[in-house]
């Protein structure tokens, strides 16, 4: 089995940056970086000591793999430029399947890191689950071997499974973070210090290490305290959108009570 020893990277955003750093640290040769923003490509290329490519025509054709860490909405059009590349084409999307690749393209797969990323915050990539997929057994083994170099948690997940995981991840990360944003807004609107809530937020998520979330649910909704629920809703009369969210979530908590 031919080992993936070199990778060319598309993208310069959060996923691309963290992925490039992880590959570099694992000893994978980075053949270069291409991004719609050449300036951003230069920044990332300097960070991981490789070259930035300004034009698609200049992309080297001898990389073992081409990793597309770009927006889902731009991936299809970008892939049309690489029908003749011999290297494995990989995308990092949680919601797109293998069918995004043209049937003319062989040796394709998915390399999806299940994590939330920022450019500035270093991550231990070894702890990040990597979900992989390919319809070619040899390519799948090659991808698996590459994934194991940067992560201790590598799982094969087909397109249907990955879409469900991505949906669940939106609830776990995107929605929970938005709830925290709203809580900060409520504090700020009344001149209160949001830092007061941080120990509570930290404990909420730390409990997940030892307690099932359904068992650790607290608050007026799970207690059935209708007096407090009504009082909270009344406090939100001037914020109807947040009031609606409060009502919907409280109803959901009551319906999902153990």
- Measure the CA–CA gap between 157 and 22, rounded to whole angstroms: 21
Domain's final residue, options 157, 185, 208? 157
- Measure the CA–CA gap between 160 and 25, rounded to whole angstroms: 31
Q: In what order do the strands lie in the sheet with 29-34?
A: 52-53, 29-34, 6-10, 65-68, 88-91, 108-113, 130-133, 154-156
Domain's final residue, options 122, 157, 192? 157
- Closest CA relative to residue 8, chosen from 41, 131, 116, 207: 41
Number of domains into which the chain is organized: 2
Q: What residues make up the domain containing 175?
A: 162-255
Residue 145 resides in a domain: yes
Based on the domain organization, do 61 and 181 belong to the same domain? no
Would you state the pLDDT for residue 123? 81
Give the CATH number, domain containing residue 114.
3.40.50.720
Based on the domain organization, do 153 and 176 belong to the same domain? no
Would you state the pLDDT for residue 76? 84
Based on the domain organization, do 125 and 220 belong to the same domain? no
Give kind and range of the element (H or E) at residue 126: none
Give the CATH number, domain containing residue 193.
1.10.1040.20
Contact between residue 185 and residue 246 where contact means Cβ atoms under 8 Å apart = no
Q: Using H for helix, E for strand and C for coil, what is the string for 48-108? A: HCCCEECCHHHCCCCCCEEEECCCHHHHHHHHCCCCCCCCEEEECCCCCCHHHCCCCCCCE
- Measure the CA–CA gap between 69 and 93, rounded to whole angstroms: 8
Domain's final residue, options 157, 185, 216? 157
Based on the domain organization, do 235 and 248 belong to the same domain? yes
DSSP state at residue 13: S
Residue 102 resides in a domain: yes
Contact between residue 104 and residue 83 where contact means Cβ atoms under 8 Å apart = yes
Based on the domain organization, do 23 and 141 belong to the same domain? yes
Residue 1 resides in a domain: no
Burial group, residue 60, by CB count within 10 angstroms (0-12, 13-18, 19+)? middle
Would you state the pLDDT for residue 1? 63
What is the rounded radius of gyration, in angstroms, for the C-alpha atoms of the chain? Answer: 22
- Closest CA relative to residue 125, chosen from 205, 45, 25, 32: 25
The region that residue 107 occupies, defined by phi over 0 for left and psi between -120 and 50 for alpha, beta otherwise, is left
Tokens of 123: 């991550």
Largest CA distance in the chain: 68
How large is the angle between the packed helices 240-255 and 176-189, nearest 10 degrees?
130
Would you state the pLDDT for residue 106? 80
Q: pLDDT by residue for the chain (258 residues), tens digit each?
A: 689 999 999 999 999 999 999 999 999 999 999 999 999 999 999 999 999 999 988 999 899 999 999 998 889 888 877 766 789 999 999 989 898 887 667 889 999 999 988 777 778 899 999 999 999 999 999 999 999 999 999 999 999 999 999 999 999 999 999 999 999 999 999 999 999 999 999 999 999 999 999 999 999 999 999 999 999 999 999 999 999 999 999 999 999 986
């Amino acid at each position: 089995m031919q080992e993936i020893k070199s990778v060319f990277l598309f993208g310069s955003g959060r996923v691309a940056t963290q992925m490039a750093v992880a590959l570099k640290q694992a000893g994978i040769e980075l053949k270069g970086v291409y991004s719609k923003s050449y300036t951003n490509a230069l920044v990332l290329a300097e960070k991981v000591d490789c070259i930035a490519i300004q034009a698609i025509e200049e992309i080297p054709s001898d990389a073992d793999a081409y990793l597309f860490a770009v927006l889902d909405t731009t991936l299809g059009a970008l892939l049309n430029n690489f029908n003749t590349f011999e290297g494995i084409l990989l995308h990092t999307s949680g919601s797109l399947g293998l069918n995004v690749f043209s049937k003319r393209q062989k040796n394709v797969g998915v390399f999806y890191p299940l994590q939330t990323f920022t450019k500035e915050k270093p991550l231990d990539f070894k702890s990040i689950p990597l979900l992989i997929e390919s319809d070619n057994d040899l390519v799948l083994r090659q991808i698996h071997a590459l994934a194991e170099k940067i992560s201790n948690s590598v799982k094969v997940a087909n397109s249907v499974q990955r879409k469900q995981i991505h949906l669940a991840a939106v609830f776990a990360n995107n929605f929970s973070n938005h709830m925290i944003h709203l809580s900060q807004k409520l504090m700020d609107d009344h001149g209160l210090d949001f830092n007061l809530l941080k120990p509570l937020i930290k404990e909420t998520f730390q409990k997940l290490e030892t307690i099932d979330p359904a068992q650790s649910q607290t608050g007026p909704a799970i207690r059935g305290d209708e007096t407090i629920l009504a009082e909270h809703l009344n406090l939100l009369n001037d914020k109807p959108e947040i009031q609606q969210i409060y009502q919907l979530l409280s109803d959901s908590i009551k319906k999902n009570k153990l």
